[in-house]
Chains A and B, each alone.
Chain A
Amino acid sequence: MTDPPQQVRAPLPLADQPFAVTERTQTQLVLRRFLRHRLAVLSLLVFVLIVLFAFVGPLLWKYTYFTSTPDNSQPPSLTHPFGTTGDGKDLLALVMRGTQQSVKISLLIAVVSTAFGTIWGAAAGYFRGVVDAVLMRIADLVIILPILAVAAVLANSSDGAWWMVSLVIAGLVWSHVARVVRGVVLSLREREFVEAARALGATDARIIFRHLVPNAIGPIIVAATVLVASGILIETALSFLGFGVQPPDTSLGILISEARTAVQTRPWLFYFPGLFIILIALCVNFIGDGLRDALDPKQTRVRQ
């Protein structure tokens, strides 16, 4: 799928002929490759819609997640598109709030753990030797422990504030990013431009942040996307167990936890929140796939 070469209309003398191919920046190239990935673009669209639903929806919808209506256990209808709970709360409003909390938490997880993991991994890869060994052994700590179990232990002390839940989970998943960045930096640091920067007297910090990290941005973004998907699954599982977001606030995990005895009698309570988790995780995974192909064409196995 290459563009047809641009035709130059009036044949100019060869020396005056302008360079016929329009120049594209790196960003434009990435964007074009991403837009070609139809499933990823569709997923991005759905994800944006879900985010709007979660953040703008509650402003427009007539019920809130904490008000009770006189309609108890109503199946989906025009007044309550998703039905209502046993205590008369509108499920659409609850799902909006739950999605909002879950999206907020998983985005913060991705941002915090990516930033932290990037610095950690870049330092390990750049300095090598003892620094590398110590930093990566610390990163290994997290691998031998079940994340969910440790997250439950740590989150137990918090009062269920959403950012606290994020920070706890981010503190357990950053090592993945650190490992990816370390690998990339280990090979980048041997390249000529790093040597040139060092010859010009650039400090270590400048080399890491101005030369190494920007060149590793592809794998970093892909790792961050993966973390959004796993973040939402960990957060909902934690809330399901009762250690994440605390009532009266709600999350998609809490909604499913409350609905688990009602699967057969009031199925809407169980299926709608689950559907949203699956939809979000699915979209984020597809976006990640598209980004991987766009940012790192070498890794694409299927040529388009």
Chain B
Amino acid sequence: MLAYALRRVAASIPVILAATFVVFLLVSLTGNPVDRLRLLDPPPPPEVLAAEEQRLFLDQPLLTRYWLWLSGILRGDFGPSVDEYLQIGPEVFSRFAVTFRLVLLAMLVALVLAVIVGVVSAVRQYTVIDYTSTFFGFLFLAMPSFWLAVLLKEGGVFANNNLGTTVFYTVGESSVVVEGGFWASFVDGLGHLILPTIALALINFASWSRYQRASMLEVLNSDYVRLARAKGLRWRKVMTRHALRTALIPLVTITALDLANIIGGAVVTETVFQWRGAGRLLLDAIRARDVHVVMAWLLVASVAVVLFNLLADLLYAKLDPRIRYD
């Protein structure tokens, strides 16, 4: 299993490298970040501009720049940012720590909801429950994530105004000043997570519950479930031990494949709730044409996706006894 995991990681390295190369070329071709300084009035002296270009490797040819970036990564150096005082490495990781909190919690909520709703509507096929969940599934599938996020945020503000106290936090990932110790800041962080998590979870829950319903239906109609019932096992036991276990397998793959898009969705959700997370970092970097920040961002995101897919594959073997990795 370990050998398999290592082989998988090794195989994904060229894919990540190629992706970074393409993105590096494209971002570099979109424009020169130093041009912004040239527009200043009065323009800075040419020596300053030249020094800035040299600091950002802009005086080098494109391929050399990519090589400088890549060799820097191997040494743990993410390269210079347009903002002279920004340490890209620590900044990217601390911002992603905030974002992954949201992403993982939203995935968890969406998964639990999707499994419950999918299984219930498969077991109770063509009942009111099934039709209701199908309706909401299609609705959330068609709903733009940012629209839902704004709606939830305004709903939170509305509830706060009517109740006279702050029940839902609608701005930022944590309060500016938190009094009390670790516990107080934990509760504060959790409070800020509620609405963004719901917004991000509902969108993904929609398609996952459809998958779960389909795979549960397929399993319920299979021979081995019928056999398990026929040999006298309890219904509840058949459902959990035989049916659900197998029906979860497709969802594991779908979840892992969707991670990249959930991170994309988190960028939108964070924008709506004004978080200082990875989303804001990326959007600011794109506007400033800050190549190295964009590259560090995409590198962290793509490595996360690759590792997550690997985890899903290993989980596969746990769920399905027919799969073995040697």
How many angstroms from the CA of A256 to the CA of B271 in the assembled complex? 13
Q: Return A41 CB to nearest CB of chain B, in Å.
A: 16
Task: Closest A residue to B16 by CB, please name it.
Answer: A144
Q: How many A-B residue pairs have CB under 8 A?
A: 133
- Answer whether residue B142 sits at the interface, using C-beta atoms and an 8 A cutoff: yes
Chain B: how many interface residues by the 8 Å CB criterion?
A: 51
- Answer whether residue A237 sits at the interface, using C-beta atoms and an 8 A cutoff: yes
- Answer whether residue B195 sits at the interface, using C-beta atoms and an 8 A cutoff: no
Q: Are B260 and A301 in contact (CB under 8 A)?
A: no
Q: Return B149 CB to nearest CB of chain A, in Å.
A: 9
How many angstroms from the CA of A154 to the CA of B286 in the assembled complex? 9
How many angstroms from the CA of A138 to the CA of B15 in the assembled complex? 8
Given A144-B260, A282-B139: A149 in contact with B268 (beta carbons within 8 A): no
Chain A: how many interface residues by the 8 Å CB criterion?
A: 42
Q: Which of A140, A145, A241, A279 contacts B268 (CB 8 A)?
A: A241
Q: Are B146 and A147 in contact (CB under 8 A)?
A: no
- Answer whether residue A194 sits at the interface, using C-beta atoms and an 8 A cutoff: no
Which of B69-77, B298-306, B313-321 contacts the other chain? B298-306
| Chain B, range 122-154, C-beta contacts under 8 Å to A | 138-139, 141-147, 150-151, 154
Q: Are B27 and A153 in contact (CB under 8 A)?
A: yes
Q: Are B19 and A157 in contact (CB under 8 A)?
A: no
How many angstroms from the CA of A240 to the CA of B270 in the assembled complex? 13
Task: Closest B residue to A240 by CB, please name it.
Answer: B146
Q: Are A150 and B142 in contact (CB under 8 A)?
A: no
Question: B residues within 8 A CB of A237?
Answer: 144-146, 268
Q: Which of B30, B146, B150 contacts A156 (CB 8 A)?
A: B30
Question: A residues within 8 A CB of B16?
Answer: 144
- Chain B residues near A (Cβ < 8 Å): 12, 14-16, 18-19, 22-23, 26-27, 29-31, 138-139, 141-147, 150-151, 154, 157-158, 214, 217, 257, 260-261, 263-265, 267-268, 271-272, 282-283, 286-287, 289, 294, 297-298, 301-302, 305-306
10 CB-based A-B contacts, threshold 8 Å: A138-B18, A145-B301, A145-B305, A148-B267, A148-B268, A237-B268, A263-B151, A264-B154, A278-B139, A301-B217
